[in-house]
Amino acid sequence: MSMLKPQPFVRTAQHIRTACTNSLNSVHHATGSTMPQVDQAKLTLLNMRFCPYAQRTVLCLNAKHIDYEVINCALMTKPEWLWDLNPIGKVPVILHQGNILY
């Protein structure tokens, strides 16, 4: 009957992600804006805050505890440099060590 004994619950430290929780007032780059400086060593996510596809990417990165930076883009008035990174002009786009995934 030792199988049925309740096991003590052990709580471990959790990684709390704050970089993806941009406020509603966060900057969304639009047409005419220059591309922000990107650190090639870090994973960078091009995102639109309310895009469900980009939110899936954020959820996966958070679940795997991967550290990343976020650059938000306005999709109604897309910045020109978004077209250079993704010929489809959509998000999410991941930049890491010179590689571009879209």
pLDDT value at position 27?
82
**Torsion angle, CA of 95/98/101/102, rounded to 10 degrees?**
70
Question: Known catalytic residues?
Answer: 51
Predicted structure pTM score: 0.73
pLDDT value at position 15?
43
For residue 87, pLDDT over 90 is answered with yes
Half-sphere exposure of 16 (CA within 13 A, CB side): 3
* Tens of pLDDT, residues 20-65: 454 456 788 999 999 999 999 999 999 998 899 999 999 999 999 9
Residue bearing the bigger pLDDT, 17 or 94: 94
100, 57, 59, 64: which is closest to 82 by C-alpha?
100
The rounded distance, in Å, linking the Cα atoms of 62 and 54 is 12
Yes or no: say if 84 and 100 are a contact pair by the CB < 8 Å rule: no
